[in-house]
């Protein structure tokens, strides 16, 4: 790179899902490189609030996920499904455990569940519409871990006012702090007070779904409003932080 013309450089890096990002280390200012600031997706022990910051994954724009405007009906309508999960189910993964639990207590009748065995990087128009309908028509969106705990689904559910039920466990790789065994994932979302349902094990799901049956529409409307309000605030706040960090570092 012809860096001599650049006075300042910030990098926004779509981090590796296992957090194997060591290649960029040598380019950081503090290691004699020319990168002043690094904004990185996925949790990382490097995040220090000084020159390395966490950036959220957000929605899958590359799969044409739209910018969603909240409508009256999104907030107020009765939703026909308690929960949804549309996605790939990997052999021997927690997703398989999730599917088994849904089947065994009959919740797959109350939820919009559609599993496939192969991951498909590109959506068809039909699969995208299906997925958005599922988010819009269920009160909860189940978010089992994939390669990384953080996934597009979390943010996509927020867009439609469907509460993410997030499997709160560290995935393989170097995303946690090796020194402490108590690494918890999704640091950024937690620090920002995300109003999600966090669970450690899908065995907790039946009780959550049971409780969901007793929630009134009025309460659901309030909860949706709170989620959409939080999500809006989350994005605005991060935008503000981003520009503040750039300004204080560069100007």
Phi and psi at 50, nearest 5°, equal -110, -65
Q: What confidence score (pLDDT) does residue 221 get?
A: 98
Here the tokens at position 149 are 């705990």
Enter the pTM of the model.
Answer: 0.94
Q: What confidence score (pLDDT) does residue 120 get?
A: 72
Q: Residues 63-102: pLDDT tens digits?
A: 999 999 999 999 999 999 999 999 989 888 899 999 999 9
Q: How far apart are CA 128 and CA 111, in angstroms?
A: 18
Q: What confidence score (pLDDT) does residue 1 get?
A: 62
Q: Which domains can be identified in the chain, with CATH numbers?
A: 10-56+235-250 (no CATH), 61-231 (3.40.50)
Q: What confidence score (pLDDT) does residue 145 get?
A: 94
**Ranges of the chain whose pLDDT falls below 50:** none
Q: How far apart are CA 185 and CA 201, in angstroms?
A: 14
CA 148 to chain CA mean position, Å: 10
Contact of 185 with 176, CB cutoff 8 Å: yes
Does residue 160 sit in helix, strand or coil? coil
Q: How far apart are CA 80 and CA 65, in angstroms?
A: 22
């Amino acid at each position: 790179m012809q860096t001599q013309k650049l006075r300042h450089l910030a990098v926004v890096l779509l981090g590796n899902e296992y957090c194997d990002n060591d290649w960029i280390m040598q380019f950081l200012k503090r290691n004699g490189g020319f990168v002043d600031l690094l904004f990185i997706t996925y949790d990382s022990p490097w995040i220090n609030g000084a020159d390395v910051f966490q950036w959220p994954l957000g929605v899958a724009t590359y799969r044409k996920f739209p910018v969603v405007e909240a409508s009256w009906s999104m907030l107020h309508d009765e939703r026909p499904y308690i929960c949804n999960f549309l996605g790939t189910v990997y052999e021997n993964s927690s997703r398989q455990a999730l599917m088994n639990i849904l089947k065994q207590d009959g919740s797959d009748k109350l939820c919009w569940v559609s599993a496939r065995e192969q991951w498909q990087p590109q959506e068809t128009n039909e699969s995208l519409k299906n997925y958005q309908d599922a988010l819009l028509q269920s009160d909860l969106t189940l978010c089992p871990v994939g390669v990384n705990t953080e996934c597009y689904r979390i943010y996509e559910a927020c867009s439609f006012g469907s509460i993410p039920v997030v499997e709160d466990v560290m995935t393989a790789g170097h995303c946690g702090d090796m020194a402490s065994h108590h690494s918890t994932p999704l640091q950024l979302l937690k620090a920002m007070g995300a109003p999600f349902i966090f669970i450690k094990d899908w065995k907790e799901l039946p009780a959550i779904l049971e409780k969901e049956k007793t929630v009134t529409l009025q309460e659901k409307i309030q909860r949706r409003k709170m989620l959409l309000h939080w999500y809006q605030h989350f994005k605005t706040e991060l935008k503000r932080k981003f520009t503040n960090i750039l300004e204080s570092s560069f100007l």
